[in-house]
Structure 1
Amino acid sequence: MTDSIKKIGIDLDNTIISYDDVFQLAANKFGLLDNNNCLSKESLRNQIRNQKNGEKKWQKLQGYVYGEGINEAVLFPGVYRFLWRCKERKIDVEIVSHKTEFGHFDSKKISLRDSATNFLINHGLLDNKNPLIKKVTYKNSKKEKIDYIKQNNYECFIDDLEEIIFSEELEGQKGILFSRDNLSVKNSNNVIAQSWEEISQSVLGNWSLDEVKNMANLISNNTEVESIEKLKGRGNSAIYKLHLSNANKSALKIYPEISYHDRLGSEFKSTKIFKELNINNVQRPISFDSSLGIATYEWIEGERISSYGIKELKAALSFLSILHQNSKAEQFKNFPMASDACPKGSDIEIQIKRRLLQFDELSTKYSDLEQFLKNDFKPLFKEIISWSQASWPSSSSYIVPIEKNELILSPSDFGFHNSLCSQNENLIFHDFEYFGWDDPVKLISDFSHNAAMNLTKEIEQLWFSEVSEIYGKHLLGRLSAAWPMYGLNWCLIILNEFKDEVWSRRCSSDDSKSNLRDEHLATQLAKSKNKLNALAANYKNKHYW
């Protein structure tokens, strides 16, 4: 789709603008919910519609959210970067929205169209100097909108509504349905994408080096980027080596843009604090642009760690010890929780169930995956959860979070896979995208289970023994009960590439993988099976310290 495309159309509400949190806040504000439980927009709508005069209440709520409440809304992750790339490639973008002038039952008569337009201006999409959007068109109804799309012959139209993308009147129109549900494509002209990253890959393809260079120059602090090269073999984020006009080098990181965790914020803020506190052996931050989801860091001349032993483990433990000693620093006081933090045992169980649900939706596409989950994983999952709950120490609760003073600062995805051996043979740690406060038991377990390292028994035992000196031997009871659950979680993490969104991200950061998916998935499934078998054999009598 990338070569010939010159003009695309995009819907506005729930496609560019995310109201996920706004509906919840507004419903609570107007007393439309019995409790403060977080609900999806669909569940919230159904709950309100089932009330007395529910349809009227729902329409009034919509009018408020799309008008006065729009200031609480946000852009979907990845939208801004997609539009910037379109601008770079001279692709005209027009927004087409079916939106009446005023909301239903709105006594204040706030213009929904003016509110939406002002939102786009405030978020830099309709900037007067260099707008990313060429035109915004509002229509009163879906029919008017469909007619307008048909008349304008967009080479691609993006919308969150099935009745638009799959409309019989737009049968020849190439369309992308933006939906977080697993739906099936109805004809060859349509694509279904669950994120703006997927949309970007579908419409624009891989980043060109010129594109990346131009973007890097936006945050190069008045030092021109003369040339760039892409680094291969990275997992989630795409990384480029920048050669600067002052003869220096730096690393540019293009982050995956997801809604549930601010990877750029976690990494840039944490490494900035490390620098302020003189915590060494970590990559130093230089500059960032949160709208584009990019940051630059100092370039480290070093080699990736291919083998590791006691020396490397001691370096990792030394870093954790220094980090722990600085955990009471003022700069960390309000730092967010780590990605997928688990301050209570039930959090681990919920994570596993959430991942399982995602794979269950995919299992119809992959029979081998379906059989593994059904015959192997789920029976052991049931067994281990029952055992872990029964084994949970009486000194803490499985369903109640540990006290705040028991949390630690965790690099989260920590290990030798995220380190480099510098020219003076010191280990330099990088990749703090998931950094934040967490239970030390999660860090200890994840390091042991991490599929990117495959620790020997000797190194694993030394890890358990030495890390207990940093965080305390009192953790043994909770670690013994939780470690098998984290192992189950890692069996599913290994299978992440079965998800189209994750595979697209992997290929974006390393395009050499694009044609090898079947082989890669078979390898990952075998790894997951092996890990599950090992877990089944030793989880009850695992030795820690």
Structure 2
Amino acid sequence: MEEPLITSIPQPFLRDYLQKTGEHFVGLERIFFGKNNRSYHVRTLGHSYFLKVYFRHPHDTRDRLGAEYAFLEFCRDQGIGGVPLPLASDWESGMALYSWIDGAPVKKGQVSSEDIKSAAALLGALALCSSVPQAAKLPFAADACTSAWDHMVLAQRRVEALSTALMAAQTNPIVLQARDFAVKGLVPALNSVMSMAQSLIEPDALRQPLCHHDFIVSPSDFGFHNALRIQDGVVFVDFEYAGRDDPVKTVCDFVCQPEIPVEEDELETMTDSLETFDAKKILQRAKMLLPLHRIKWCCIILNDFIKLHALRREFSNEENSGADKLEIQMHKAQSYADMHGVFK
């Protein structure tokens, strides 16, 4: 879905970039891609570019622009392909310009074995470069986990935030349904999973911080919901949560994301790509901690019930918002929990 062509250059930093490249500006069109930001297709006489305007709010201090741009600079400098190129950014206006990917969103049910190999290849390339000095300069990923305990705290924080928002929300049938789902479903499920995980992990190891060489440069929120299909494969996009993280969280999120799901067996495919890490140990930890991330993703599906997340959706002008969206997301969360045995 595109809006009418804008024929005046809206920002000085974009004008400056085009002056440096000597290109003639034709116009830009609003495109609806992603749930948190605003995106535009910039057209010149010879090229196309992707312009991203990042969501900002006093209660959301995450530097989305900085995280994504630094990650893509890292990929460029390390010769890692399969992602867009960073071209220019302007922190003051909250905008960045990237290479245009001429592709279409990957559709549910159309992820091939070659697509999985492409994802594993990108993760493997990032793992290979995660020990270079430039990697240590990257920020931690959003909700980064630095110990096994952090995985538990992350899920717990998500459940508490959702439960608190639902208890404070104006009561209506869909809010009541979501409240029961959270309080009577997710809370006891989380308690059970945390007890099980703590029984399997040595007490001394539970809070033991990862060593610096145990972190991967993670795409974060990595999956085919953030991929474009091109003529000869897929390109991965949208890295505003990227940074250093526990590879266990990265691979768990890859198999947990609900929009374009993959089989849980791909957990092993992804860990096998981490040749510079102890892949066997990562797989063992991932299988143990995966139920926590399933619970976390139930909460993420219901983000629209939390005001700040809803504001991001409003900023991006995501289609199908409001009461209908809440009902849709509630159905998705229930189906997701049922499919993956979250309440068993």
Fold similarity call, TM over 0.5: yes
Measured after TM superposition, the shift of residue 243 of structure 1 is: 0.9
Kindly tell me: are residues 382 and 292 of structure 1, through their superposed partners in 2, closer, same or farther at Cα, counting changes over 3 Å?
Answer: same
Match of 2:180 in 1: 371
Contact 1:388 1:485 in 2 (8 A): no
Q: Does 1:254 align with 2:50?
A: no
Amino acid at match of 2:137: N
Amino acid at match of 2:240: E
Q: Please show how residues 292-371 of structure 1 align to structure 2 within 5 Å.
A: 292-306=93-107, 307-363=110-166, 364-365=169-170, 366-371=175-180
Measured after TM superposition, the shift of residue 524 of structure 1 is: 1.0
Which of 290, 314, 326 does residue 521 from structure 1 map onto? 326
Distance in 2, matches of 1:263 and 1:501, equals: 15
Match of 2:26 in 1: 226
Contact 1:217 1:225 in 2 (8 A): no
Distance in 1, matches of 2:78 and 2:14, equals: 29
Amino acid at match of 2:324: E
Match of 1:174 in 2: none
Kindly tell me: are residues 349 and 428 of structure 1, through their superposed partners in 2, closer, same or farther at Cα, counting changes over 3 Å?
Answer: same
Unaligned runs of 5+ in 2: none
Amino acid at match of 1:335: L
Amino acid at match of 2:63: D
Kindly tell me: are residues 212 and 324 of structure 1, through their superposed partners in 2, closer, same or farther at Cα, counting changes over 3 Å?
Answer: farther
- Secondary structure of 1:220's counterpart equals helix
Amino acid at match of 1:444: V
Distance in 2, matches of 1:373 and 1:537, equals: 12
Distance in 2, matches of 1:345 and 1:230, equals: 42
RMSD over equivalenced CA pairs, Å: 2.5
Measured after TM superposition, the shift of residue 218 of structure 1 is: 4.5
Contact 1:241 1:249 in 2 (8 A): yes
Match of 1:235 in 2: 35
Amino acid at match of 1:504: L
Identity %: 26
Measured after TM superposition, the shift of residue 443 of structure 1 is: 0.8
Distance in 1, matches of 2:4 and 2:207, equals: 48
Contact 2:41 2:48 in 1 (8 A): yes
Match of 1:467 in 2: 271
Measured after TM superposition, the shift of residue 538 of structure 1 is: 9.1
Match of 2:255 in 1: 448
Measured after TM superposition, the shift of residue 298 of structure 1 is: 0.7
- Secondary structure of 1:291's counterpart equals coil
Deviations 1:265-287 (A, max 9, x none): 11112212222222112100111
Which of 409, 412, 421 does residue 220 from structure 2 map onto? 412
Q: Please show how residues 26-175 of structure 1 align to structure 2 within 5 Å.
A: none
By relative contact order (CA 8 Å, sep 6+), the higher-ranking structure is: 2
Which of 525, 531, 535 does residue 336 from structure 2 map onto? 531
Deviations 1:348-378 (A, max 9, x none): 2222332233323322322222121122111
Contact 1:338 1:436 in 2 (8 A): yes
Kindly tell me: are residues 285 and 536 of structure 1, through their superposed partners in 2, closer, same or farther at Cα, counting changes over 3 Å?
Answer: same
Distance in 1, matches of 2:16 and 2:52, equals: 12
Kindly tell me: are residues 261 and 537 of structure 1, through their superposed partners in 2, closer, same or farther at Cα, counting changes over 3 Å?
Answer: closer
Match of 1:493 in 2: 300
- Secondary structure of 1:397's counterpart equals helix
Match of 1:194 in 2: none
Q: More deviation in 319-328 or 526-535?
A: 526-535
Match of 1:106 in 2: none
Contact 2:294 2:342 in 1 (8 A): no
Kindly tell me: are residues 496 and 480 of structure 1, through their superposed partners in 2, closer, same or farther at Cα, counting changes over 3 Å?
Answer: same
Measured after TM superposition, the shift of residue 467 of structure 1 is: 2.3
Measured after TM superposition, the shift of residue 500 of structure 1 is: 2.6
- Secondary structure of 2:206's counterpart equals coil
Contact 1:263 1:433 in 2 (8 A): yes
Contact 2:35 2:318 in 1 (8 A): no
Measured after TM superposition, the shift of residue 396 of structure 1 is: 6.7
Measured after TM superposition, the shift of residue 210 of structure 1 is: 5.5
Distance in 1, matches of 2:6 and 2:116, equals: 40
Kindly tell me: are residues 500 and 510 of structure 1, through their superposed partners in 2, closer, same or farther at Cα, counting changes over 3 Å?
Answer: same
Aligned residues: 325
Measured after TM superposition, the shift of residue 410 of structure 1 is: 0.8
